[in-house]
Amino acid sequence: MQNGRVLKQQNGLYTIEDENGISRVGNAGSKIRKEGYKILAGDFVEYILNTDNSIFINSLLERKNSFIRPPVANLDTLFIVVATDEPAPDFYNIDSMLSITEANNVNPIIVVNKIDIKSQNEICSIYEKCGYKVYSICGNKEDGIDELKNSIEGVCAFAGQSGVGKSTIMNQLFPELLLEVGEISQRIQRGKNTTRITELFKINKDTYVADTPGFGMIDFINFDLLTLEQLNEKAFPEFTPYKNNCKFRNCTHLKEESCAVISAVRENIIPASRHENFIRLHDELSSKNQYK
């Protein structure tokens, strides 16, 4: 039995990279299918090597994390791409993805694209104040690309609204990938999705980048990617220094007058948009729990 990493799944066949960096193709055993496991790009598996050099996947190894939309597992870093304009930034989308990454042990990095169209100052000031790493780039002009490339390690994916320039950025970072770039729909100001299969591309010995169809608005309401407990304990890290200063130990940080987090918002220490989106996420997750 040998171990390997799944690079992609297409038409029931899996491309696996073994421990020596050799890629092989094969299918999954009936045990995995019967137990209802879905093998994802990024998964580690045990497999049998057949005499014709094809493989037979026997078992799925433990995951660090996994996502359904897109189908990818064991992510180390998520680059959240947001454009200064065309399309306009959706701060609720950004904060949702930040919360999900933190709940699932993924390191989030924000990439602000299209700085040639509009200033990035508003976006940067919000998230740098909260302690996040933010890169400002112009994806179609190589501005800031080298610095961003130096931060990439482990298994990485790029996420964001359609049209923010994910494929353009990835082509600048890794021209060998030659990803198809979509156009912006003039009617709805969103990009036409050009990616169809989730696939890991090997950049070097320890670095992989995932080309991920549909990794934009993560539907965390329908999937158990974020819980109320995780929202309160792992997300919105800029709240942490103030939580112990609240008057009541069970403070929800939603509307209490004696809340130190809310006081920090009023003093412009914590960005107001972050607290507003915390409340919105809290309400969404509370509603979800009521209908379970």
Q: What is the pLDDT of residue 67?
A: 85
* Domains of the chain by start residue, with CATH: 2-62 (2.40.50.140), 67-211 (3.40.50.300), 228-290 (1.10.40.50)
Q: How many other β-carbons are positioned within 10 Å of the β-carbon of residue 261? A: 25
Nearest-angstrom CA–CA distance, 45 and 57: 7
**The two three-digit tokens of residue 11, written as one number:** 């038409």
Q: What is the pLDDT of residue 292?
A: 59
Angle between the N-to-C axes of helices 272-290 and 91-103, in degrees from 0 to 180, rounded to the nearest 10: 70
Q: What is the pLDDT of residue 214?
A: 56
Q: What is the pLDDT of residue 75?
A: 95
pTM of the model: 0.86
Residues of the chain with pLDDT under 50: 181-195, 219-222
What tens digit of pLDDT does each residue of 134-160 get? Answer: 999 987 777 788 899 999 999 999 888
Q: What is the pLDDT of residue 264?
A: 98
Buried b (16+ CB within 10 A) or exposed e, 182-204: bebeeeeebbeeebeebbbbebe
What tens digit of pLDDT does each residue of 96-124 get? Answer: 999 999 999 999 999 999 988 888 899 99
Q: What is the pLDDT of residue 154?
A: 96
Q: What is the pLDDT of residue 32?
A: 79
Q: What is the pLDDT of residue 222?
A: 47
Distances (CA, A) of 111 to 140, 155, 190, 282: 14, 17, 18, 26
